[in-house]
């Protein structure tokens, strides 16, 4: 698998505080990678290191195979677009004027692509309206447009839907999916709004206390979070035989517990098992969300 970003034992220390404490992660090319963690666990610090806004205390990372200690890392960073913390926009300028200013900063000689870029983020009809009069969602989309000015392959978004209303969240979600699916842009999203991340991310990285706790693909996560019925029985062999005969998909957890991934007729199943001297001791429906998975993963400490 090809990776856009790889970090290894990355550390960032401020005085006596370890913002990052040996973090290793891998962002696959073409993915939408959701970086999940409570406020203050190192998500923004990691992004600032990747973007070159700060330097690591220890460890290293690579962008498109170029190590951060190499002089060539500057070339790799030109392939990044980022919105870190809040969009960097000029409030007294229109969307078009903001993009022209960014083009000048990047040394892009022609403004010919600006109309297409405004259309891409849904701001083509804002005219001379100043950014100070934009909604929060419009400002966020303008910030993304500015980040896209250099035609990056890798887009980094720090809490892109924080504070947005439902319509604004939908607009950002659709834009991210469009950039990924239609333009092939790899996206790294830092967020603590887990329900929204679960709708778009193809990969997840769970961090806590400056360390990567687990990386997992959406496919693997969906398998682990499948809706099921958890049964506790007195005779696992009998239950497995019955479930196999019925063609049910199941996973044995222990010699007493099993997860069944099917809609069960509980009454008939209990009666059938009783005839074979297998008692059902407990029945519980399981439907684990991304939020619950994360909370269980970090030991029950709820995110902020």
Residue 302: pLDDT above 50?
Answer: no
Residues 173 and 206 in one domain: yes
Domain with residue 231: its CATH number is 3.30.70.100
Last residue of a domain, one of 160, 191, 216: 216
Lowest-confidence region among 119-128, 196-205, 223-232, 234-243: 223-232
Residues 60 and 111 in one domain: yes
pLDDT at residue number 251: 87
Residue 58 belongs to some domain of the structure: yes
Residue 97 belongs to some domain of the structure: yes
Residue 304 belongs to some domain of the structure: no
133-152 pLDDT per residue, tens: 999 999 999 999 999 999 99
Alpha-carbon span 119 to 110, nearest angstrom: 17
How are beta strands 186-191 and 32-36 bridged, if at all? parallel
Close Cβ partners of 30 (under 8 Å, ≥ 6 residues apart): 180, 184, 186
Alpha-carbon span 77 to 63, nearest angstrom: 7
Q: What is the mean pLDDT of residues 192-216?
A: 92
Last residue of a domain, one of 216, 248, 267: 216
Last residue of a domain, one of 169, 196, 216: 216
Residues 172 and 231 in one domain: no
Residue 255: pLDDT above 60?
Answer: yes
Residues 13 and 149 in one domain: yes
Residues 123 and 209 in one domain: yes
What does 195-246 look like in DSSP terms, one character per residue? HHHHHH-SEEEEEETTEEEEEEEHHHHHHHT--EEEEEES-HHHHHHHHHHH
Residue 303 belongs to some domain of the structure: no
For the chain, report the end-to-end CA distance as a whole number of angstroms: 33
Residues 88 and 65 in one domain: yes
Residue 209 belongs to some domain of the structure: yes
Residues 88 and 204 in one domain: yes
Residue 299 belongs to some domain of the structure: no
Residues 174 and 82 in one domain: yes
pLDDT at residue number 206: 94
Q: Quick one: 254 exposed, middle or buried, by C-beta within 10 A (0-12, 13-18, 19+)? A: exposed
Residues 109 and 164 in one domain: yes
Residue 132 belongs to some domain of the structure: yes
Q: Which domain holds residue 177?
A: 3-216
What does 243-258 look like in DSSP terms, one character per residue? HHHHT--EEE-SSSEE
160-178 pLDDT per residue, tens: 988 888 899 999 999 999 9
Alpha-carbon span 40 to 1, nearest angstrom: 31
Number of domains in the chain: 2
Residues 190 and 66 in one domain: yes
Domain with residue 103: its CATH number is 3.40.50.300
Residues 174 and 236 in one domain: no
Residues 112 and 55 in one domain: yes
Residue 49 belongs to some domain of the structure: yes
pLDDT at residue number 300: 57
pLDDT > 90 in the chain, percent:
71
pLDDT at residue number 304: 41
């Amino acid at each position: 698998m090809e990776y856009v970003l790889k970090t290894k034992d990355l550390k960032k220390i401020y005085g006596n505080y370890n913002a990052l404490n040996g973090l290793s992660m891998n962002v696959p090319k073409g993915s939408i990678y959701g970086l999940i963690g409570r406020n203050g666990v190192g998500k923004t610090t990691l992004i600032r290191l990747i973007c070159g806004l700060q330097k690591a205390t220890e460890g290293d990372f690579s962008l498109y195979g170029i190590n951060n200690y190499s002089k060539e890392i500057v070339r790799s960073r030109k392939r990044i677009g980022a919105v870190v913390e809040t969009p960097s926009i000029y409030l007294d300028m229109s969307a078009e004027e903001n993009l022209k200013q960014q083009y000048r900063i990047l040394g892009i000689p022609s403004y010919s692509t600006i109309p297409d870029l405004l259309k891409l983020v849904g701001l083509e009809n804002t005219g001379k309206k100043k950014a100070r009069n934009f909604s929060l969602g419009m400002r966020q989309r303008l910030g993304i447009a500015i980040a896209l000015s250099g035609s990056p392959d890798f887009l980094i978004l720090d809490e892109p839907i924080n504070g947005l209303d439902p319509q604004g969240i939908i607009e950002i979600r659709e834009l991210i999916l469009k950039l990924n699916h239609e333009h092939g842009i790899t996206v790294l999203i830092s967020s603590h709004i887990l329900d929204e991340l679960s709708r778009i991310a193809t990969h997840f990285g769970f961090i806590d206390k400056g360390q990567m706790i687990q990386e997992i693909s959406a496919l693997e996560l969906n398998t682990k979070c499948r809706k099921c019925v958890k049964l506790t029985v007195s005779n696992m062999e009998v239950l497995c035989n019955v479930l196999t005969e019925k063609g049910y998909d199941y996973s044995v957890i222990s010699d007493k517990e099993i997860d069944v991934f099917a809609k069960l007729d509980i009454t008939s199943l209990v009666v059938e098992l009783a005839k074979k001297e297998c008692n059902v001791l407990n029945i519980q429906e399981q439907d684990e969300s991304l939020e619950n998975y994360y909370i269980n993963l970090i030991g029950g400490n709820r995110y902020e």
